[in-house]
Amino acid sequence: MSAATLGLDGTVAWPQEIAAAYRAAGYWRDQTLADALRTWAARSGADLALVCGKRRWSYRELDARVDRLAAGLQTLGIQPGARVVVQLPNCAEWLVVFFALLRCGALPVLALPAQRLAEIGSFCAQSAAVAYIGAADAAGYDYRPLASALRACCPSLRSVILDGAQHPFIPLASVDAEPTSFAPASAAAVALFQLSGGSTGTPKLIPRTHNDYLYSVEASASVCQLSRASVYLCALPMAHNFPLSSPGALGTLAAGGCVVIAPQPSPTHTFGLIAQERVTITALVPPLARLWLEAAPSHQQQLASLDVLQVGGAPLDRTTAERITSVLGCRLQQVYGMAEGLVNYTRLDDPLERVWTTQGRPLSPADELRIVDAEDRDVAPGAPGQLLTRGPYTIRGYYRAAEHNRHAFTADGFYRTGDLVRMTADGYLVVVGRSKDQINRGGEKIAAAEVEQHLLAHPHIQAATLVAVPDQWLGERACAVIVTSVAGIDRPTIAAFLRSRGLADYKIPDVIRVVDALPTTPVGKIDKRQLRDQLTAAQAHSRRSR
Interacting residues toward ligand AMP by CB under 6 A:
196-197, 312-315, 334-339, 359, 417, 419, 431, 434
Of 32-40, 334-342, 365-373, 425-433, the segment contacting ligand DBH by CB under 6 A is 334-342
Which one, 44 or 196, has the nearer CB to ligand AMP?
Answer: 196
Residue 337 as a binder of ligand DBH (CB under 6 A): the answer is yes
Q: Which does 343 bind (CB under 5 to 8 A by kind): ligand AMP, ligand DBH, none?
A: ligand DBH
Q: Which does 334 bind (CB under 5 to 8 A by kind): ligand DBH, ligand AMP, none?
A: ligand AMP
Site string for ligand DBH, 432-461 (x = CB under 6 A): ------------------------------
- Ranges within 267-326 binding ligand DBH (CB under 6 A): 312-313
- Taking the complex as a whole, how short is the minimal distance between the CB of residue 486 and ligand AMP, in angstroms? 28
Per-residue DSSP letter, 346: -
* 306-330 as b/e: b if 16+ CB within 10 A: bbbbbbbbbbbbebbbbbbeebbeb
Burial class (CB in 10 A: 0-12, 13-18, 19+), 114: middle
Tally of CB atoms within 10 A around 178: 9
Q: Which does 255 bind (CB under 5 to 8 A by kind): ligand AMP, ligand DBH, none?
A: none
Residues 83, 108: Cα–Cα separation, whole Å:
6
Q: Which does 359 bind (CB under 5 to 8 A by kind): ligand AMP, ligand DBH, none?
A: ligand AMP
Site string for ligand DBH, 377-406 (x = CB under 6 A): ------------------------------
The residue within the footprint of ligand DBH, chosen from 111, 284, 338, 483 (CB under 6 A), is: 338
Site string for ligand DBH, 230-259 (x = CB under 6 A): -----------xx--xx-------------
Of 31-39, 146-154, 258-266, 332-340, the segment contacting ligand DBH by CB under 6 A is 332-340
Q: Which of 349, 350, 394 is nearest to 370 (CA)?
A: 394
Residues 129, 101: Cα–Cα separation, whole Å:
13
The residue sitting closest to ligand AMP, measured at its beta carbon, is 197
Q: Which does 230 bind (CB under 5 to 8 A by kind): ligand AMP, ligand DBH, none?
A: none
Residue 431 as a binder of ligand DBH (CB under 6 A): the answer is no
Rounded to a whole number of angstroms, the distance between the first and last alpha carbons of the chain is 62
Which one, 191 or 321, has the nearer CB to ligand AMP?
Answer: 321
Which one, 245 or 346, has the nearer CB to ligand DBH?
Answer: 245
Burial class (CB in 10 A: 0-12, 13-18, 19+), 430: middle
Concatenated DSSP letters for 265-326?
Answer: -SHHHHHHHHHHHT--EEEE-HHHHHHHHHHGGGGGGGGTT--EEEEESS---HHHHHHHHH
Residue 423 as a binder of ligand DBH (CB under 6 A): the answer is no
Q: Which helix (H) or strand (E) holds 417?
A: strand 415-423
- Whether the CB-CB separation of 50 and 92 falls below 8 Å is answered with yes
- Taking the complex as a whole, how short is the minimal distance between the CB of residue 527 and ligand AMP, in angstroms? 11
Residues 117, 120: Cα–Cα separation, whole Å:
5
Q: Which does 107 bind (CB under 5 to 8 A by kind): ligand DBH, ligand AMP, none?
A: none
Residues 463, 481: Cα–Cα separation, whole Å:
8
Q: Which does 98 bind (CB under 5 to 8 A by kind): ligand DBH, ligand AMP, none?
A: none
Q: Which helix (H) or strand (E) holds 372?
A: strand 368-372
Q: Which does 246 bind (CB under 5 to 8 A by kind): ligand DBH, ligand AMP, none?
A: ligand DBH
Residue 339 as a binder of ligand DBH (CB under 6 A): the answer is yes
Q: Which does 196 bind (CB under 5 to 8 A by kind): ligand AMP, ligand DBH, none?
A: ligand AMP
Q: How many CA atoms lie within 13 A of 425 on its CB side?
A: 0
Cα dist from 294 to 180, 298, 459, whole Å: 50, 9, 12
Q: Which does 479 bind (CB under 5 to 8 A by kind): ligand AMP, ligand DBH, none?
A: none
Beta strand ranges found along 99-184 (DSSP E): 107-110, 131-135, 137-138, 141-142, 159-163, 170-171
- Taking the complex as a whole, how short is the minimal distance between the CB of residue 396 and ligand AMP, in angstroms? 16
- Taking the complex as a whole, how short is the minimal distance between the CB of residue 149 and ligand AMP, in angstroms? 25
Which one, 180 or 357, has the nearer CB to ligand AMP?
Answer: 357
Q: Which of 401, 398, 396 is nearest to 413 (CA)?
A: 396
Q: Which residues contact 366 (CB under 8 A, 6 or more apart)?
A: 22, 25, 27, 391, 392
- Taking the complex as a whole, how short is the minimal distance between the CB of residue 219 and ligand DBH, in angstroms? 12
Q: Which residues contact 321 (CB under 8 A, 6 or more apart)?
A: 311, 332, 334, 355, 356, 357
SS3 for 172-194 is HHHCCCCCCCCCCCCCCCEEEEE
Task: Give how far the C-alpha of residue 461 lies from the chain's centroid of Cα atoms, to the nearest Å.
Answer: 25
Task: Determine the 3-state secondary structure of 459 from DSSP.
Answer: coil
Task: Determine the 3-state secondary structure of 217 from DSSP.
Answer: helix
- Taking the complex as a whole, how short is the minimal distance between the CB of residue 175 and ligand AMP, in angstroms? 30
Residue 484 as a binder of ligand DBH (CB under 6 A): the answer is no
- Taking the complex as a whole, how short is the minimal distance between the CB of residue 474 and ligand DBH, in angstroms? 32
Which one, 197 or 207, has the nearer CB to ligand AMP?
Answer: 197
Q: Would you tell me which residues interact with ligand DBH (CB under 6 A)?
A: 241-242, 245-246, 312-313, 335, 337-339, 343
